[in-house]
Amino acid sequence: MSSSLLQRLAAALTLLFFAGCSGNEDLPPRIADTAFLLGTAITVTIQQHDIPRQVIQDVFDRTEEIQNLMSANERNYESTEILTINRAAGEQAVTVSPETLLVVQESLEFARLTGGAFDPSVHPLIVLWGMGTEQASVPPADLLEGVVAQIGWEDIQLDREQGTVFLPREGMSIDVGGIAKGYAADEGARILREAGVQRAILDFGGDIVTIGGRVDGTPWRIGIQHPSGDRNRYLGILNSRDESVVSSGDYERYFVQDGVRYHHIFDPETGFPSTSGLNSVTVIGPQAIRTDALSTAFFVMGLEASLAVLAEMPDYEGIFATEEMQLIITAGLADRFERPDEAYTLIVR
């Protein structure tokens, strides 16, 4: 990605965050930078005196470390810990770093919590469909059936004491991309806080983490992406401080074949893109590693099952846009969700 495009992305991402904060010479300077990591543009913005720009580079460096450990992309990497796990499937357990072990462990925990709607073992499906490549297409039924038979998070063997991960069947493979980006965002926020940062926004390709509030004491204002994919249109605006805000939707990556649109969030049971009746899901809560996994799982699970999970997680909230043009928000957001899109019927649950 060119540097000019990264600069434009950074400007677009920070525009809403700092609306109403410009033009005052007494305000702290805004330090911002963008890098292309984890397959997306990552922007870190700090509004505070006496914070060196190097701290943003520290965030990027840590993110790159995570990327180099956990990428499942064979086109870009000769070897990562996840690739090593996948290549050893059916043969032997692989010793991994504490970071990779933690992310795989969390992946399995959220697979359990969501009844397999979040499943790190769907990687063979992603490869078969060619998602994210110019060769993306609907696979033949017999190949799809064979790949679906290889999926199964329950079979992944993780040994915390030995620090190993084992895929017991040849042909199995995992992809932790649906949770590692959230982990990286949490790590970035940790680095900023340890450096004394009290007012900042991290945008990891749509995985947002807010630190503190704005300099005037008000919360950050986060635009929730509209399912149309129009970057200038929002479902609404969320007032946010000290939390993560992560969205998943069918607008992010897709292709059209024979007049049918196929998106990138798969239902592990069918092997096809999810048809849950939702166009987008946003999950809000303390940890991005959790909101990242939940936003993907909820998109597959559908509205009612997702609300049932949230009912057992009091620190987490949700925003759901349905195909029937309903915008459902959980009760904890009622006093801080503003300007809902008029095309939707707003419902508080």
Q: What is the CATH number of the domain that holds 280?
A: 3.10.520.10
**Number of structural domains found in the chain:** 3
pLDDT of residue 6: 41
Domain enclosing residue 151, as ranges: 77-175
Q: What is the pLDDT of residues 108-157, one digit of tens each?
A: 999 999 999 999 999 999 899 988 788 889 999 999 999 998 899 999 99
Are 283 and 256 within one domain? Answer: yes
Looking at residue 26, its pLDDT comes to 60
Q: What is the per-residue pLDDT for 7?
A: 39
User: Model pTM?
Assistant: 0.89
Closest by Cα among 101, 33, 32 to 70:
101
Task: Indicate the residue among 218, 249, 278 that finishes a domain.
Answer: 218
**Look-up: residue for tokens 């999970």?**
309
HEC sequence for the chain: CCHHHHHHHHHHHHHCCCCCCCCCCCCCCEEEEEEEECCEEEEEEEECCCCCCHHHHHHHHHHHHHHHHHCCCCCCCCCCHHHHHHHCCCCCCEECCHHHHHHHHHHHHHHHHCCCCCCHHHHHHHHHHCCCCCCCCCCCHHHHHHHHHHCCHHHCEEECCCCEEECCCCCCCCCCHHHHHHHHHHHHHHHHHHCCCCCEEEEECCEEEEECCCCCCCCEEEEEECCCCCCCCEEEEEEECCEEEEEEECCCCEEEECCEEEECCECCCCCCECCCCEEEEEEEECCHHHHHHHHHHHHHHCHHHHHHHHHCCCCCEEEEEECCCEEEECHHHCCCEECCCCCCEEEEC
- Domain final position from 175, 194, 210: 175
* Tokens encoding 103: 């992310």
Say yes or no: 213 and 83 in one domain.
no
Q: 252 with 192, same domain? A: no
CATH number at 105 reads 1.10.3980.10
Q: Are residues 64 and 180 in the same domain?
A: yes
Q: Residue 181: its pLDDT value, please?
A: 95
The pLDDT of residue 20: 38
The reported pLDDT for the residue numbered 24 is: 53
Give the tokens for residue 102: 């933690």
Q: Is the dihedral of CA 226, 343, 325, 312 positive or negative?
A: positive
Residues 55 and 84 placed together within one structural domain of the fold = no
One domain for residues 207 and 331: no
- Same domain? For 209 and 168 the reply is no
* Low-confidence spans in the chain with pLDDT less than 70: 1-27
Whether 49 and 181 map to the same domain: the answer is: yes
* pLDDT (0 to 100) of residue 8: 37
Q: Both 231 and 340 in a single domain?
A: yes
pLDDT number for residue 76: 81
348 and 271 in a single domain? The answer is yes
Domain boundary pick from 185, 200, 218: 218
Q: Does residue 62 sit in the same domain as residue 148?
A: no
Same-domain pairing of 233 and 346:
yes
- The whole-number pLDDT of residue 251 equals 76
